Structure 1
Amino acid sequence: MGEADDISLPKATVQKIISEVLENDLTFSKEAREIIIESGIEFIMILSSMASEMADKEAKKTIAPDHVIKALEELEYHEFIPDLEQILVEHKETQRIKERRDAKFKKSGLSEEELLRQQEELFKQSRSRFQQTAPPAAALPEESTPSDSASESVKTEDV
């Protein structure tokens, strides 16, 4: 296998996925987890190879989501496609939101340091407003700490 021997999936992540699927009264052996990992690697290799073929057929140098979906169809994994298309829609929306946020910062013309300074100033103003609405420290009853009592008793004994 050579190069494929170095390929693996994170065991903790696979274990978490397995745990989410299993009923509470079932356990999963390490050997079974290893088989799942190896099967996952094999599936990813087959799917990416098939998607690469789909991209080659279109003379594309980049594998696009459509190529992966076509590969799933070719491999007869039709039941996965609707969920994957929904995930793709959600991912694109997340990317659009992130791009808008990044563009807003870039359009501001301010450096990251200046934006951080402004954020600190806003935090300072918020703390100030909070302290103005909080009851004054003098109005709060004083609590004596055990160390205060101990020092007072020492003073009286010295006298």
Structure 2
Amino acid sequence: MCDAEDELTIPRASINKMMKEMLPNVRVSNEAKELVMNCCTEFVHVIASRANEVCNQNQKKTIMPDHVLGALNEAGFGDFVNEAKEVLKGCKEMQAQRRKHSTRLENLGIPEEELLRQQQELFAKAREEQLQVETQQWQQIQAEVQKKLEEENRGSTSTAVVDEDDDYS
């Protein structure tokens, strides 16, 4: 098969896995696997096309589960509708559970109180570090000011000495 056709098929590994689960003690030839894969792909195409038609008839732009269920009925697979509804229900429940349990806080497995305590410790540590930095900066500024004052004092003292020497000449 060419690459364009491969994009339009159900993955071979998925088909093989389903067949092994459904028929664990049966050997299936590669030709039979290929045929099943092509049938599955065609089934999906037919149902998707019909679901699109149902969607358009309802003047909608997004294919919804009800459109797929209607397409199953129209294609003569009404017997599968109840089973499809059960699968849909299970999928919705799984999605709801994922959304409910997908918060990072719950994924950590650490109680909220412990996280709050750790956060407070981090804030306190950050404040302490900031205070140390500010203290060092303040000390550096004081040292620079002290140095300038000493330089000015030396300069005024040496000027005064020079002036006194000038008076003695």
Q: 2:73 — aligned with what?
A: 73
Q: Report the alpha carbon displacement of residue 101 of structure 1 after superposing the two structures with TM.
A: 2.7
- Rg bigger for which structure? 2
Q: Report the alpha carbon displacement of residue 4 of structure 1 after superposing the two structures with TM.
A: 4.1
Structure 1: tracts of 5 or more residues without a match: 106-111, 123-159
User: Cα RMSD (Å) of the superposition?
Assistant: 2.8
Question: 1:9 corresponds to which letter in structure 2?
Answer: I
**Structure 1 stretches of 4+ moved >6 Å:** none
Q: Report the alpha carbon displacement of residue 90 of structure 1 after superposing the two structures with TM.
A: 1.2
Q: 1:54 — aligned with what?
A: 54
Distance across 2 between alignment mates of 1:12 and 1:97 = 28
Distance across 2 between alignment mates of 1:117 and 1:78 = 45
Quote the sequence identity (%).
Answer: 32
Partner SS state of residue 27, structure 1: coil
Q: Report the alpha carbon displacement of residue 19 of structure 1 after superposing the two structures with TM.
A: 1.7
Normalised by the length of structure 1, the TM-score is 0.60
Matched positions, count: 111
**Equivalent runs, 1:1-159 vs 2, <5 Å:** 3-4=4-5, 6-22=7-23, 24=25, 26-102=26-102, 105=103, 112=104, 116=108, 118=110
| Superposed CA offset, 1:29-82 (max 9, x none) | 001100111111111111000000000001111100000000000001011111
Change (3 A) 1:99 1:6: closer
Question: 2:52 corresponds to which letter in structure 1?
Answer: S
Q: Report the alpha carbon displacement of residue 5 of structure 1 after superposing the two structures with TM.
A: 5.3
Q: Name whichever structure is richer in helix by fraction.
A: 2
